[in-house]
Amino acid sequence: MNRYVGYKEKNPFFFASFVKPVEDFSNTISAQNIISKLNEGNIFDFEYLPKEKDTLDISFNAKNRAEYKYFTIIFRDGIWQKGQNPHYVSVTENIARGEVKVTYKEENEFLKHVEHLKIKYGVEIPESIKVRCANLKDDSQDPIYLAIRNFKEYKTFYHPEFIKYITDKYFNEFHESENSNALQSLLDKAQNTFSLLEKKFISEKIDLSFINKCFNELNDKLECVFTSIPIKDDEYMIIDGRFYSKVIFSKGKRKTYFINKVKKINYEIFKLFKG
């Protein structure tokens, strides 16, 4: 929350670029929603009387510039509305700072289900998705809502650099004379054994010590796997990893020659949805 103090002359030699504001975070938090609530009365947890040209800046995921979103609303002519004070020439001071909290219906079944997924599977549903889905009706056809409600198991994608590290280590240090069949079989069987709760590959039937060793050696430097919830067809929502909460689609298998045409590995690739 910023208060307008006054006007200053613009520096003719000052140039800057700004991220464009949005109107909706796609999780029920939008400029119009906040404006409506503010014009109904005080929704802050402290005493506050707005003054002309006060502005409220609301941002989402400010720690990640690639996903950073924000909008600004202004108190003008006695009401809150879309807009902001002019850049470069406005002098303002910060008067308050906090978080937007969304209230849910009592005994919310969706949130209870989300908590169950966290306890049983280690699946962490991001707050933005909770806000988007928690107050939807039981018969909602929202694809993200349905994917979480109908969740049975998650799908794991290997990071390409993790595959490269494994194959280099396997052939160069242990099995130089082999072809890639044994390693290919191991990688295929291990792909959906990764445990989010224990942060390792787990199987009672397969010895996964080699893959877990590689995972532990790389995990501090790289997100080795991307864990996702299937949405529909070849669409998945990432729930762990660098594209957290993004929707991606599988592009099938890619054949990669890491050393030569005999020592090759097929692994499933994916692409991030644009927008």
Summarised one tens digit per residue, pLDDT across range 162-185 is: 998 998 899 888 777 788 889 999
d(CA 136, CA 142): 8
Give pLDDT, residue 88: 77
Residue range 201-237, pLDDT digits in tens: 999 999 999 999 999 998 777 778 888 888 887 888 8
Instruction: Give phi and psi for 97, each to the nearest 5.
Output: -150, 145
- Amino acid identity for residue 248 in this structure: I
Give pLDDT, residue 79: 92
Position 102 pLDDT exceeds 90: no
Position 62 pLDDT exceeds 60: no
Give the three-state DSSP class for 182: helix
Position 16 pLDDT exceeds 60: no
- In terms of pLDDT, which residue wins out, 78 or 275? 78
Give pLDDT, residue 274: 47
Position 275 pLDDT exceeds 60: no
d(CA 114, CA 107): 13
- In terms of pLDDT, which residue wins out, 177 or 113? 113
User: Residue 33, exposed/middle/buried by CB under 10 A (0-12, 13-18, 19+)?
Assistant: middle
Can you name the residues that pair with 4 across neighbouring β-strands?
92
User: Which residue do the tokens 């595959």 mark?
Assistant: 163
φ/ψ region of 28 (left if φ > 0, alpha if ψ in -120 to 50, else beta) reads: left
- In terms of pLDDT, which residue wins out, 22 or 162? 162
What predicted TM-score, i.e. pTM, was given to this entire model?
0.63
Position 15 pLDDT exceeds 70: no
Position 134 pLDDT exceeds 60: yes
Contacting residues for 75 by C-beta, under 8 A, at least 6 apart? 50, 51, 52, 53, 54, 55
Task: Tell me how many degrees the CA angle 169-264-260 measures, rounded to the nearest 5.
Answer: 85
Average pLDDT rounded to a whole number, residues 8-22: 67
In the predicted model, what is the mean pLDDT of the chain?
Answer: 83
Position 100 pLDDT exceeds 90: no
Average pLDDT rounded to a whole number, residues 76-90: 88
- In terms of pLDDT, which residue wins out, 21 or 62? 21
Question: DSSP character for 66?
Answer: G
Strand order in the sheet with 90-94: 79-82, 69-76, 55-60, 2-7, 90-94
Confidence of residue 105 (pLDDT cuts 50, 70, 90): low
Give the three-state DSSP class for 125: coil
Give the three-state DSSP class for 59: strand
Helices vs. strands in the chain: H and E counts, helices first: 7, 12
Confidence of residue 4 (pLDDT cuts 50, 70, 90): very high
